[in-house]
Structure 1
Amino acid sequence: MAVKTLEELFVHQLSDIYSAEKQLTKALPRLARAAAAEELSAAFEAHLEETRGQVERIDQVVELLGIRLKRIKCAAMEGLVEEGKEVIDSVEEGPLRDAALIGGAQKVEHYEIAAYGTLCALARQLGYRDALPLLEATLEEEKATDRKLTLLAEGGGNQRAAAQAA
């Protein structure tokens, strides 16, 4: 079905990120198990709980606005999850894999930041004042997770990976 209105675009975008979040709830436990550093594993587990809350927020937005999500699969997240599987399969467990997992997780966060930024802008334009704080809360969580991942990489993860290769 073709998208013809801003409202339809909002529903499509919300449906897409809902699919992305659901896919992520399945992928994060695998990432947590694949991480060698306990702090990275714990970060993936914490983000799993946060992601479940983000799915609940989308459910709240749907209820508030009285809309129905489309049954679509987020192809972008599907590709990002597949990249994560490839890292797990092709990089030996240790600091180098952790560095690659962090990089892949940041790709996911950047995608989600873009998606929620778009949804917030659309919600503002459409006057969805009750839904906007829910979307903004998730956007801020995604930005915070990206910052945490950067700190893990810069706080020793990348140095350990470089030392492993030496």
Structure 2
Amino acid sequence: MAIAEKNLSDAFHETLKDVYYAEKQSVKACKKSAKAAKSPELKAAFETHGEESTTHVERLVQVFEMLGKPPRAKTCDAMQGITAEMEEDLEEFGDTPAGDAVLIGCGQAIEHYEIARYGMLKTWATQLGLTDAAKLLDLTLEEEKKADALLTQIAEASVNSNAHVSKAKAS
């Protein structure tokens, strides 16, 4: 019995399951980051993006429905790695002046992964003629880009300079 050859539609569905898992982890990471952040502006940014990420999960459910498939998550090794690094960084730097800067770095690692995945899914949806799915994925893609830009703005405006403490002051 011959096994059917995989195609772009299969890749789209498998990646959708991966991103569904990743986005659910992003909601948790935003909550944890908001709790750990010392800067009120950074705390608010993580809280807001956590709410957006909940909407992203809902949009992914809609895309699954458009495909006539149940929303199922597939463990995303990339997101597990990023969140494991975030845990390590929070342990090591959470109570230091560099804590917020490290949180921003972790948040941006998540955003960059999501931007790459949503960009790819949007392109594939367009190629597969899934116009409505492409629109939903594009909405999320733009929100991920805005979240990334906001984290950069917060880092450059205050957090990174607050993280710079000379060794003499630190001891």
1:83 aligns with 2:91: no
Q: Distance in 1 between matches of 2:166 and 2:154?
A: 17
> What is the letter of the counterpart of residue 49 of structure 1?
E
Q: Among residues 110, 113, 117, which one is paired with 1:111 in the alignment?
A: 113
Identity of aligned residues (%): 46
**Residue 154 of structure 1: SS of its match in structure 2?**
helix
Deviation at 1:31, TM superposition (A): 1.1
How does the TM-score come out when normalised to structure 2? Answer: 0.91
CA offsets, 1:29-51, max 9 Å, x none? 11111111111111111111000
| Pairing 1:51-66 to 2, within 5 Å after superposition | 51-66=53-68
Contact 2:94/2:100 (8 A) holds in 1: no
* Bigger radius of gyration: 2
| Pairing 1:115-130 to 2, within 5 Å after superposition | 115-130=117-132
How does the TM-score come out when normalised to structure 1? Answer: 0.93
Matched with 1:154 is: 156
CA offsets, 1:7-50, max 9 Å, x none? 00000110000000111122221111111111111111111100
CA offsets, 1:56-103, max 9 Å, x none? 000111112212445410111111111111111111424301001101
Q: Distance in 1 between matches of 2:37 and 2:4?
A: 41
Paired residues in the alignment total 166
Matched with 1:144 is: 146
**Residue 53 of structure 2: SS of its match in structure 1?**
helix
Unaligned runs of 5+ in 2: none
Task: List 4+ stretches of structure 1 deviating above 4 A.
Answer: none
